[in-house]
Amino acid sequence: MKVAIIGTGYVGLPTGVGLAELGHDVVCIDKDESKIKTLQSGRVTLYEDGLAEMLQKNFQAGKIKFTTSMKDSIPSADVVLLAVGTPPHPVTKEADLQYIFAAAEELALYLKDYTVVAVKSTVPVGTGDKVEALIRKVNPQADADIISVPEFLREGYAVKDFFNPDRIVIGSNSEKAKKVMANLYNYFADKTEILYVNRRSSETIKYASNAFLAVKIHYINEMANFCEQTGADIAEVAKGMGLDKRIGNRFLNAGPGYGGSCFPKDTMAMAYIARQYGVNMSLIEDVIKENAARKKQMAHRVLDAVKNIPNAKIAVWGLAFKEGTDDCRESPAMEIIAELIKNKANIVAYDPQAMTNAQKLVGNQIKYAQDMLTAAQNADVLAILTEWPEFKNADLDKLAQTMAHKNIVDCRNMLNKTEATAKGFSYSCIGYNSEIARSFQNKVA
Ligand code: NAD
């Protein structure tokens, strides 16, 4: 099938490459000329495991093309996927739909034969109605169905998730559109559940899912706070909880709070929509507030660890909002760093993929090191802020030798606390306080 994808970001590009790999003829459109120039030379514009190789292969085979022009690519498309950004409005925090509407208005001009226009971006309930009205206004003759196909891929696993989705949701009442989408996703027919629902349900499934996951993360973080005061260990508690199939063991890693380009904006958008409809969503409202406060609390844990050391040097491992990506948007690490900078901290950071993007956000307010140990050289405390696997395998002997003071604040519970303590580190992690745990044991004894 012929597919046009508008927006070549973290969703559009892996989706385009994945669909090309499945044999479709894909054109990726973006108004960012520099992105398109890079892509037209066969190179990727963002980091995702396996993406560069798959892009190269399909690019050379002529299965995927890149352009800034809708005029040349929309008329022949069977399906147009809209994958532009829906960032939070700076004031109201509702989803800002200006990119969706601008793209819809433009693509409407070039619709020719029957086309399915599928909104892949995360949009508030009812957006499909507005996009449809806009397209019909610009091009009353257009033979098109406007449907919702929300995206659930995880950054860092985009390629893997494209080929192994938990489900595909298609929001449309049009039998014709459903047939076209069944063809597009034919490869998945016997591999995953393809759920057909109405457009408004589809739009809601995306926000409801992300808000639920954000609440789950916040729940385990609150439990971690509880464990720190009671001598329990959140790792053991989470394991015990996760064995209950009704709860499940995923998203039970306590940490510095959720972040990234989706959960913060999608929870805020969900809360906004609920307010518009007069529905009480105090749970989500509360989670948003507490999650934001948590990043500041983490920064102060790091500062507390060096409060008696003048001009302390803080080493930071991890800048991306999670492992496997170079994306720093709403990264907890970046928010913790912002609070540290506010407190005039002297920071040297390392991240395997995200240093270029981090530099765009904080510039030279921090220093950057080319590897973990260099970042930790003469440091008074090490803060681990992203769960890159290489941090788990850090050589603690070398780390001990290179640091000025052996303090670690591990916001991702990456290291083995028994080993770190045995090597002489003052080791603080999330959801377990060794002194409190010992004090309760002593009381019993
Ligand atoms: P992004 O910012 O990485 O990419 C958006 C791209 O759209 C940019 O390259 C931009 O230049 C382009 N664009 C904007 N307006 C355009 C126009 N009129 N014509 C052509 N190109 C245009 O965004 P993203 O992270 O890929 O997210 C896209 C959508 O998918 C959002 O709604 C997001 O919430 C949703 N989503 C994201 C993820 C994720 O992991 N990032 C996961 C699921 C859903």
Question: Is the domain of 88 the same as that of 175?
Answer: yes
Give the nearest ligand 1 atom to 11 CA: 26
Instruction: Please tell me the distance between residue 228's alpha carbon and the centre of ligand 1 in angstroms.
Output: 39
- Tell which of 197, 223, 255 closes a domain: 197
For atom 3 of ligand 1, the residue with the nearest CA is 9
Question: Is the domain of 178 the same as that of 258?
Answer: no
Instruction: Please tell me the distance between residue 101's alpha carbon and the centre of ligand 1 in angstroms.
Output: 13
pLDDT of residue 444: 65
Burial code (b: 16+ CB inside 10 Å, e: under 16) for 220-248 equals: bbebbbebbeebbbbbebbeebbeeeeee
Give the nearest ligand 1 atom to 29 CA: 20
CA 124 to chain centroid: 18
Number of domains in the chain: 2
Give the nearest ligand 1 atom to 7 CA: 7
Question: Is the domain of 191 the same as that of 338?
Answer: no
In degrees, rounded to 5, the angle at the alpha carbon of residue 138 between the alpha carbons of residues 132 and 139 is 85
Question: Is the domain of 151 the same as that of 187?
Answer: yes
- pTM over 0.75? The answer is yes
- Tell which of 197, 217, 234 closes a domain: 197
Tens digit of each residue's pLDDT, the chain (445 residues): 999 999 999 999 999 999 999 999 999 999 999 999 999 999 999 999 999 999 999 999 999 999 999 999 999 999 999 999 999 998 999 999 999 999 999 999 999 999 999 999 999 999 999 999 999 999 999 999 999 999 999 999 999 999 999 999 999 999 999 999 999 999 999 999 999 999 999 999 999 999 999 999 999 999 999 999 999 999 999 999 999 999 999 999 999 999 999 999 999 999 999 999 999 999 999 999 999 999 999 999 999 999 999 999 999 999 999 999 999 999 999 999 999 999 999 999 999 999 999 999 999 999 999 999 999 999 999 999 999 999 999 999 999 999 999 999 999 999 999 999 999 999 999 999 988 888 887 776 5
Question: Is the domain of 26 the same as that of 54?
Answer: yes
Taking a C-beta distance cutoff of 8 angstroms, is the pair 385, 411 a contact?
Answer: yes
Question: Is the domain of 178 the same as that of 274?
Answer: no
Q: Kindly give, in sequence order, each residue whose CB lies less than 8 Å from that of residue 280, ignoring residues fewer than 6 positions away.
A: 274
In terms of residue numbers, what domain contains 76?
A: 2-197
For atom 40 of ligand 1, the residue with the nearest CA is 155
Instruction: Please tell me the distance between residue 414's alpha carbon and the centre of ligand 1 in angstroms.
Output: 31
